[in-house]
Amino acid sequence: MDLAPRHRLPFPLPGPWPACARALLRAGAPWLHTGGTGDGLLGLPGGPQLTSRWSGPGWATHLEGRPCPGSPWEALEAALPVHPGPWVGAASFELACDEAGLPRQELAPGTLGQHWQGLRQALHLQDGQAELWSWNEAPPDPRAWAGMLHVGSVPEPEPLALAPRWEEARHRTAVEQIRERILDGGFYVANLCVPFEAAFAGDPAGLALSAFARARPPFGALLDLDGLRLLCLSMERLLSRRGNRIWAQPIKGSVPLTGDSTTDRQAAEALAADPKERAEHTMILDLVRNDLGRVAQVGSVSVSRPMAVEPYPTVQHLVSTVEAQARPGLGLAELLRAVLPGGSVTGAPKHAVCAHLAQAEASPRGFYCGALGWIAPTGDLDLALPIRTAQIQGGQIIYWAGGGITRRSDPAREWAELHLKTRAITG
pLDDT tens string 274-322: 888 888 888 889 999 999 999 999 999 999 889 999 888 778 888 999 9
List Cβ neighbours of 208 (8 Å cut-off, separation of 6 or more): 25, 31, 33, 220, 222, 231
Give me the active site residues, please.
236, 252
Spatial separation of the C-alpha atoms in residues 317 and 253, rounded to whole Å: 5
- Which domains can be identified in the chain, with CATH numbers? 163-203+243-366+393-426 (3.60.120.10)
DSSP string, 24-39: HHHTT--EEEETTTTE
CB count in 10 Å sphere of residue 359:
9
pLDDT band at 37 (very low <50, low <70, confident <90, very high): low
CB 330 within 8 A of CB 243: no
Indicate whether 139 pLDDT > 70. Answer: yes
pLDDT tens string 225-275: 999 999 999 999 999 999 999 999 998 888 888 888 999 999 999 998 988
Strands 66-67 and 49-54: unpaired
* pLDDT for residue 253: 81
pLDDT tens string 198-210: 999 999 999 999 9
Nearest residue to 383 (alpha-carbon basis) of 76, 131, 49, 112: 76
Spatial separation of the C-alpha atoms in residues 24 and 15, rounded to whole Å: 14
Nearest residue to 41 (alpha-carbon basis) of 3, 96, 83: 3
Spatial separation of the C-alpha atoms in residues 21 and 237, rounded to whole Å: 26
Spatial separation of the C-alpha atoms in residues 190 and 169, rounded to whole Å: 19
